[in-house]
Amino acid sequence: MSDSPKLYSTDRALKRTLRVAYPAGKGRIVLRTELDWDADVEPTSVSEDGTISTFEVESTQPFLYFKPCLVQRGEHRWSVGPNRLLLMTEADKRKHYPFFFDESNGRFSRLVEFPSAILGRPHKLRAYLPPGYDENTLRSYPVAYMQDGQNLFFPEEAFMGHEWEVDETSQILSAMNAAEDVIFIGIHSGDRMLDYTRPGYEPYAKSLAEEIVPQAESLIRLKKHRRQRSVWGSSLGGVVSFYAVWQHPEVFGVGVCMSSTFSHKDNLMERVLTEAPRDVAFYLDSGWPEDNYEVTMGMAMALVARGWTYGRNLVHLCFPMATHDETSWGMRLHLPLQFLNGAVAKASREGLPVLGEAGLRATSF
């Protein structure tokens, strides 16, 4: 035990359980915690198939840093990455998926090209796979389908050499324990003005729902509930992302629309105001001045008028002096990621009914 005084302390000891998932047959899982980094915490139970180890922990502060260890032939191998944060005030609903041999950074898939019968041309996709994807095969992931995929990952591909730095932001949020990992699939754009505006966004979104999603799910371990599928874009890409979610709510649960050109070659505000509400969520933002500030706020107000609730299935933010470019969108990428997959955000939505599901227990976004 450490003898150093604690800055934070609770009046009584807090107790909770923690479940750690790792493929069976590779060793025994134990915990090490900041209470004593040299002492093993043994599991109180292990599932019959050997994949889930459950631990009981206790602390007199509202959080506890820990690391799983894999014990092989008496030797301890510590999990890769920073110490993990256990919130003692949280219910045990999230499993922890450690890895011990993979690199600490994620990796990119090869560029996948496949034909679209709907569009009559090929799609080009590339995915970012989080650290541990290859080793801990028990885990499946939420997915973000992102427009203008060539601007996301590599400066040599991006417009004006400025990428969104998606992988860097994702890794930082994971290190902070602020948001769960997401797989990002970048869809390389073709004719943006055709595919991202009316009427061209109709077949494009249909192809996204009926061709890209099945293709991605055949290649990558993705969660397959629609609330775990989000569609992202900026500028015209934000418009087509909104359209895809509005038009195909049976496939997608969330739209992330940054600096979107709402009402420029689309009728989405009219549809929101006149059609039956969809059981979907939206993150909307823009810079100011310009940067489609007024129309983004107008769309947010339209959603509120039709029953969306700020903070639960709608977030709208404005960024003073932010400009209309990849650098600005990348800098605020962490916000929609926390809205969708932040620990506190997901816990707050657990069990709440959302549009179209009144009276039912809803799967969180």
What pLDDT tens digit does each residue of the chain (365 aa) get? 455 667 999 999 999 999 999 999 999 999 999 999 999 999 999 999 999 999 999 999 999 999 999 999 999 999 999 999 999 999 999 999 999 999 999 999 999 999 999 999 999 999 999 999 999 999 999 999 999 999 998 877 766 677 889 999 999 999 999 999 999 999 999 899 999 999 999 999 999 999 999 999 999 999 999 999 999 999 999 999 999 999 999 999 999 999 999 999 999 999 999 999 999 999 999 999 999 999 999 999 999 999 999 998 999 999 999 999 999 999 999 999 999 999 999 888 877 665 444 433 334 44
Same domain flag for 53 and 199: no
How many degrees, rounded to 5, is the angle at CA 357 between CA 355 and CA 363?
95
Confidence (pLDDT) at 359: 35
Sign of the CA dihedral running 130, 132, 133, 139 = negative
Question: What CATH number is given to the structural domain containing 122?
Answer: 3.40.50.1820
Does some domain include residue 331? yes
Domain identity same for 196 and 300 = yes
Show the beta-strand stretches assigned E in 176-266: 183-187, 229-234, 254-258
32: in domain: yes
**Domain membership flag for residue 360:** no
Number of domains making up the chain: 2
Q: What does the pLDDT read at residue 361?
A: 37
Q: Which two tokens stand for residue 176?
A: 């902070």
Confidence (pLDDT) at 362: 39
Residue environment code for 163-202, b if the CB has 16+ CB neighbours within 10 A, otherwise e: bbbbbebbbebbeebbbbbbbbbbbbbbebeebbbeebbe
Residue 350's pLDDT is: 76
Tell me phi and psi for residue 238, to 5 degrees.
Answer: -70, -35
d(CA 27, CA 127): 30
Q: Is residue 248 part of a domain?
A: yes
Q: How far is CA 219 from the centre of its chain?
A: 18
Pairing of strands 84-87, 112-116: unpaired
Q: Which two tokens stand for residue 272?
A: 């929101």
Rounded to a whole number of angstroms, the CA Rg of the chain reads 22
Encoded tokens for 121: 């041309």
Domain end point (choices 53, 87, 121) = 87
What pLDDT score was predicted for residue 354? 52
Single-letter code of the amino acid located at 245: V
54 plus 154 within the same structural domain:
no
AA identity, residue 81: G
- Residue 92, in any domain of the structure: no
Same domain, 120 and 228: yes
Q: Would strands 84-87 and 75-78 be described as parallel, antiparallel, or unpaired?
A: unpaired
Residues 77 and 114 in one domain: no
Same-domain pairing of 70 and 141: no
Same domain, 186 and 333: yes
Q: What's phi and psi for 240, nearest 5 deg?
A: -65, -30
Question: Does residue 254 lie within any of the structural domains?
Answer: yes
Total residues belonging to the chain: 365
Q: Is residue 235 part of a domain?
A: yes
Show the beta-strand stretches assigned E in the chain. Answer: 14-21, 28-33, 36-41, 45-46, 52-59, 63-72, 75-78, 84-87, 107-108, 112-116, 121-129, 143-146, 183-187, 229-234, 254-258, 281-288, 314-320
Same domain for 188 and 80: no
**Pick from 188, 40, 47: which is nearest to 126 by CA?**
188
Question: Residues 63, 189: one domain?
Answer: no
Give the domain range for residue 66. Answer: 14-87
What is the structure's pLDDT at 1?
45
Angle, alpha carbons 280-344-43 (nearest 5°): 120
Residues 163 and 238 in one domain: yes
125 with 80, same domain? no
For residues 134 and 298, the answer to whether their CB atoms sit within 8 Å is no
The CB density around residue 29, as the number of other CB atoms within 10 Å, is 25
96 and 52 Cβ atoms separated by less than 8 Å? no
Task: Indicate whether 77 and 124 sit together in one domain.
Answer: no
Within a domain: residue 101? Answer: no
Q: What is the pLDDT of residue 163?
A: 82
Q: pTM higher than 0.75, yes or no?
A: yes
